[in-house]
């Protein structure tokens, strides 16, 4: 079984976010980047298939050379090889088109990705990929088993979980639960050393125009000051809720 894992290069959630050029572009200065957490669950599940069923695992990213350390980390975790599509990820449709081209040319049986990236939270790329490839697609996955050319998938739905079956080829949008958080892999020294020798192939993008343009970003409003009230002063609490917060 050939598995392709899509890796997004995203800011660490502890990073301080700023914008430049009249708030129209993200400022990456001083920001630490990591593997998108949802993609990390997908990668860990792919490693399980490699170890238990002998699958081959390729990781892919759309981005410039600055994303290569993130791909190398995925190789250190255990992926066999990596592909970088040499293009800026302009929008979700553009990224999906590039990833779909890699998947089609590589003849992969299973494409794993996070259900969304934590920077833009678009949640559109895996579904668009599946549509371009004309293959089955399931998102919000919290369980995946593959036997032969058939997969059994568990996914979250409103109020519960649903179990589905689908034939390969298949695109999966994974999330926490696809593997347990405690099972996520941390690269060890041996893996880091081996990653340096594994292939990281750079391919040029297919011609495709982005369909959306970012106009501007804005930060959430800063949290207001917290007013402390003595635990026994109920009259002041009621007064503030009524006259200032206006919630009663």
Q: How many CB atoms lie within 10 A of CB 36?
A: 24
Question: Is residue 114, in this structure, part of any structural domain at all?
Answer: yes
Q: Is the pLDDT of residue 221 over 90?
A: no
- What does the pLDDT read at residue 25? 87
Q: Angle at which helices 68-77 and 37-53 pack, to 10 degrees?
A: 40
Q: Is residue 60 part of a domain?
A: yes
Is pLDDT above 90 for 131?
yes
* Number of domains into which the chain is organized: 1
pLDDT at 246: 84
Residue 40 located in a structural domain: yes
With a pLDDT cut of 90, the percent of the chain lying above it is 67
* Among candidate residues 48, 44, 6, the one with its CA nearest the CA of residue 137: 6
Higher pLDDT, 122 or 42: 42
Taking residues 59-64, report their average pLDDT.
96
Q: Is the dihedral of CA 168, 7, 95, 140 positive or negative?
A: positive
Alpha-carbon gap, residue 139 to 174, rounded angstroms: 6
More confident residue, 187 or 172: 172
The pLDDT-based confidence of 47 (bands split at 50, 70, 90) is very high
**Does some domain include residue 56?**
yes
Assigned domain for 157 exists: yes
Q: Domain range spanning residue 66? A: 2-216
Kindly state whether residue 196 falls inside one of the protein's structural domains.
yes
Peptide bond into 169 cis (omega under 30): yes
The CATH code of the domain that includes 120 is 3.40.50.620
The long-range contacts involving 241-244, CB below 8 angstroms and separated by at least 24 positions, are none
- Give the pLDDT band of residue 232 (cuts 50, 70, 90): confident
Task: Answer yes or no: is 190 within a domain.
Answer: yes
Instruction: Confirm whether 228 is domain-assigned.
Output: no
What distance in Å separates the CA atoms of residue 15 and residue 118, rounded to the nearest whole number? 12
């Amino acid at each position: 079984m050939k598995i392709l894992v899509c890796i997004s290069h995203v800011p660490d959630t502890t990073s301080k976010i700023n914008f430049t050029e009249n708030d129209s572009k993200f400022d990456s200065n001083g920001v630490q980047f990591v593997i998108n957490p949802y993609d990390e669950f997908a990668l860990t599940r792919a490693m399980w298939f490699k170890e238990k069923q002998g699958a081959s695992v390729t990781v892919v990213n759309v981005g410039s050379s600055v994303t290569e350390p993130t791909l190398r980390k995925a190789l250190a975790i255990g992926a066999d090889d990596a592909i970088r599509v040499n293009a800026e990820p302009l929008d979700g449709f553009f990224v999906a088109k590039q990833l779909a081209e890699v998947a089609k040319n590589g003849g992969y049986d299973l494409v794993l990705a996070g259900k969304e990236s934590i920077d833009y939270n678009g949640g559109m790329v895996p579904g668009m990929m599946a549509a371009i490839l004309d293959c089955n697609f399931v998102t919000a996955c919290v369980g995946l088993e593959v036997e032969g050319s058939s997969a059994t998938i568990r996914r979250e739905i409103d109020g519960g979980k649903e179990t589905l079956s689908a034939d390969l080829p298949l695109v999966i949008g994974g999330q926490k639960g696809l593997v347990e958080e405690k099972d996520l892999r941390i690269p060890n020294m041996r893996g880091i050393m081996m990653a340096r020798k594994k292939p990281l192939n750079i391919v040029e993008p297919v011609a495709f125009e982005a369909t959306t343009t970012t106009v501007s970003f804005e930060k959430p409003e800063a949290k207001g000051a917290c007013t402390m009230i003595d635990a026994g002063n109920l009259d002041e609490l009621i007064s503030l809720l009524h006259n200032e917060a206006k919630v009663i």
